[in-house]
């Protein structure tokens, strides 16, 4: 038995604002035609850094929607194309990466994608197991139809695996003669760069043919029939569908693009003051990731719930109604957004870590702080190291100045009077407070806070 078709994924994407354009309306019917096999859908990720970032997240979310509707998701790492650099959306040529860096980056990206997409298989197989144990009549037809066959719903490929075998003359003979230079020149990404001061190198100009050939190769050898990408990938995607039509002379290859992730003011969503919002927990902690979504402006939150989460549209509508009601607790919709996206990217463990740190870092929180929680946020807030002797019996007022939390003793005293100075989240009421052994969390750290925002982690060496 093949995979069972779920709901029509193109319609789901359209309703949620995740569909920019499709190369043919036939893709809609192919998504839910019970006579056709499920689709194999690919999205490419070039290994330009060791982690993917928020800009890449929509690609993974759209792949996951196909996965959830019974199709097979294919993530393609650009081990070959990453050596060239895609000119789309770039105003200068990318710096060349050495092989060692490319391999390290590829490893990091494979880990992220397999972890995120792999959770769906784990959860689904868990649910299938529960469903089967509940229903002893496993062989019955309706029980078989109630779930998607277990077995991986995604694969990860590296395009270097086929490109390393290809010789230039063979490529020109097989692909080059079918590529019309006029069509290639007319692509938006090419036109923009040709008009720029930087111009466009021949290497970058060929990028669309490389990506086009990837689609052709996978269509022939892996049965991949849909390519997805951001709206800036339209030219590269249609290069592939054209090659398949001309070289193989068959129909049935489709392209689908989704909008780029923009804020309501038109700027890219996914950059903070410190740079990109990375998906790898080793580059950006789940706590910081969660906080980024928690602070999304009200005007964007409903749209992001539709685009970035798998909550039903009914549930999102309810959240939208709540926001308008009197007595609405500010940031409740943002909290839901932050929870859902953090869970998708970092799993239940990552979400737990983020919530624990968020709760623990609220001045006045009841949560008992432990060393691990404070260490978890240490990279996200200023920190310093002092010896045990420098800290024990030291005046808190002096310490808040010497660590750089506050500028002067007078401002520290003023803050104590206002009730805004905290030691390990407990408000300090006395100017004469000295640090005792019991104040040093697990004998290793202190957390000083001036108001809600400014914190200082003091490591005890």
What CATH number is associated with residue 434?
3.10.290.10
Between strands 226-230 and 40-45, the pairing is parallel
Question: For residues 428 and 422, is the Cβ–Cβ distance under 8 A?
Answer: yes
Q: Does residue 404 sit in the same domain as residue 348? A: no
According to the model, what pLDDT value does residue 65 have? 96
pTM: 0.82
Between strands 72-77 and 445-450, the pairing is unpaired
Q: Which two tokens stand for residue 362?
A: 């609220």
Q: Distance of alpha carbon 234 from its chain centroid, rounded?
A: 21
Nearest 5°: phi and psi at 424?
A: 50, 45
Q: What is the CATH number of the domain that holds 150?
A: 3.40.50.620
In terms of Cα–Cα distance, which of 56, 27, 31 is closest to 43?
56
Determine, yes or no, domain membership for 91.
yes
| Rounded-to-integer distance, Cα 99 and Cα 142, Å | 52
According to the model, what pLDDT value does residue 169 have? 95
**pLDDT digit string (tens) for the chain, length 461 residues:** 344 456 899 999 999 999 999 999 999 999 888 888 899 999 999 998 999 999 899 999 999 999 999 999 999 999 988 887 777 767 676 677 888 999 999 999 999 999 999 998 887 766 655 444 444 443 333 322 223 344 589 999 999 999 999 999 999 999 998 988 988 888 888 888 888 888 888 888 888 899 999 999 999 999 999 999 999 899 899 999 999 999 999 999 999 999 998 888 887 777 666 678 999 998 888 988 999 999 899 999 999 999 999 999 999 999 999 988 888 888 899 999 999 999 999 999 999 989 988 877 776 666 677 777 777 677 667 888 999 889 889 999 999 999 989 999 999 999 999 989 998 888 899 888 999 988 888 888 888 988 877 888 899 88
| Rounded-to-integer distance, Cα 332 and Cα 320, Å | 10
Determine, yes or no, domain membership for 61.
yes
Please report, for residues 5, 14, 292, 377, 449, the alpha-carbon distance to residue 373 in angstroms, rounded to integers and kept in the order given: 44, 41, 19, 7, 15
Q: Distance of alpha carbon 459 from its chain centroid, rounded?
A: 32
Residue 459 in 3-state DSSP? Answer: strand
Please tell me the chain's helix, strand, coil percentages from 3-state DSSP, rounded to the nearest 5. 50, 15, 35
Determine, yes or no, domain membership for 1.
no
Determine, yes or no, domain membership for 268.
no
Q: Does residue 242 sit in the same domain as residue 119? A: yes
CA angle 97, 99, 105 (to 5 degrees): 75
- Domain limits at 25? 9-127+145-258
Residue 91 in 3-state DSSP? Answer: coil
According to the model, what pLDDT value does residue 254 have? 97
According to the model, what pLDDT value does residue 366 have? 64
Residue 44 in 3-state DSSP? Answer: strand
Q: Does residue 207 sit in the same domain as residue 77? A: yes
Q: Does residue 162 sit in the same domain as residue 37? A: yes
Q: Does residue 73 sit in the same domain as residue 165? A: yes
In terms of Cα–Cα distance, which of 404, 413, 397, 414 is closest to 458?
404
| Rounded-to-integer distance, Cα 342 and Cα 380, Å | 17
Last residue of a domain, one of 310, 331, 361: 361
Question: Could you tell me the end-to-end alpha-carbon distance of the chain, in angstroms, rounded to an integer?
Answer: 62
Please report, for residues 391, 423, 431, the alpha-carbon distance to residue 438 in angstroms, rounded to integers and kept in the order given: 12, 12, 18
Q: Does residue 91 sit in the same domain as residue 232? A: yes
Question: For residues 234 and 89, is the Cβ–Cβ distance under 8 A?
Answer: no
Q: Does residue 350 sit in the same domain as residue 422? A: no
According to the model, what pLDDT value does residue 454 have? 86
Question: For residues 363 and 373, is the Cβ–Cβ distance under 8 A?
Answer: no
In terms of Cα–Cα distance, which of 228, 211, 214, 212 is closest to 71?
228
| Rounded-to-integer distance, Cα 110 and Cα 121, Å | 16
Number of domains in the chain: 3
Determine, yes or no, domain membership for 272.
no
According to the model, what pLDDT value does residue 273 have? 64
Question: For residues 403 and 448, is the Cβ–Cβ distance under 8 A?
Answer: yes
Determine, yes or no, domain membership for 77.
yes
Q: Does residue 28 sit in the same domain as residue 107? A: yes
Determine, yes or no, domain membership for 410.
yes
Determine, yes or no, domain membership for 271.
no
Q: Does residue 171 sit in the same domain as residue 309? A: no
Exposure b/e, 388-400, CB count within 10 A at least 16 = b: eeebeebbbbebb
Count of positions (residues) in the chain: 461
């Amino acid at each position: 038995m093949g995979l069972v078709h779920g709901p029509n994924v193109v319609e789901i994407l359209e309703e949620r604002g995740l569909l920019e354009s499709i190369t043919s309306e036939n893709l809609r019917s192919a998504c839910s035609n019970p006579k056709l096999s499920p689709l194999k859908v690919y999205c490419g990720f070039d290994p330009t850094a060791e982690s993917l970032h928020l800009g890449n997240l929509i690609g993974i979310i759209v792949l996951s929607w196909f996965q959830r509707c019974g199709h097979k998701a294919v993530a393609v790492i650009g081990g070959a194309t990453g050596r060239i650099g895609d000119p789309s959306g770039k105003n200068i040529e990318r710096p060349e990466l050495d092989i060692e860096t490319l391999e390290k980056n590829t490893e990091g990206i494979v880990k992220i994608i397999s972890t995120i997409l792999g959770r769906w298989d784990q959860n689904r197989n868990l649910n299938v197991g529960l469903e089967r144990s509940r229903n002893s009549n496993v062989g019955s037809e309706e029980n078989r139809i109630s779930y998607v066959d277990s077995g991986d719903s995604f694969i990860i490929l590296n395009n270097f695996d086929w490109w390393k075998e290809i010789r230039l003359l063979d490529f020109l003979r097989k692909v080059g003669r079918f590529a019309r230079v006029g069509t290639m020149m007319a692509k938006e990404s090419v036109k923009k760069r040709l008009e720029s001061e930087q111009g466009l190198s021949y290497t970058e100009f060929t990028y669309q043919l490389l990506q086009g050939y990837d689609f052709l190769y996978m269509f022939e050898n892996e049965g991949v029939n849909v390519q997805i990408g951001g709206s800036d990938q339209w030219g590269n995607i249609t290069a592939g569908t054209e090659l398949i039509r001309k070289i193989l002379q068959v129909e049935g290859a489709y392209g689908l693009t989704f909008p780029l992730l923009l804020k309501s003011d038109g700027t890219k969503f996914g950059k903070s003051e410190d740079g990109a919002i990375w998906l790898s927990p080793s580059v950006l902690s789940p706590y910081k990731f969660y906080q980024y979504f928690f602070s999304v402006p009200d005007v964007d939150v409903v749209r992001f719930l539709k685009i970035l989460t798998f909550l039903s549209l009914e549930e999102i509508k309810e959240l939208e109604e709540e926001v308008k009601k009197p007595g609405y607790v500010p940031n409740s919709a943002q909290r839901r957004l932050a929870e859902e996206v953090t869970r998708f990217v970092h799993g239940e463990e990552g979400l737990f870590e983020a919530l624990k740190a968020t709760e623990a870092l609220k001045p006045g929180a009841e949560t008992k702080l432990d060393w691990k929680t404070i260490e978890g946020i240490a990279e996200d807030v200023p920190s310093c190291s002092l010896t045990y002797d420098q800290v024990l019996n030291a005046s808190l007022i002096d310490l808040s100045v010497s660590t750089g939390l506050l500028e002067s003793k007078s401002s520290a005293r003023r803050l104590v009077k206002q009730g805004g100075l905290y030691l390990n989240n407990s408000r300090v009421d006395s100017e004469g407070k000295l640090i005792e052994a019991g104040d040093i969390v697990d004998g290793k750290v202190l957390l000083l806070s001036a108001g809600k925002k400014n914190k200082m982690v003091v490591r005890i060496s």
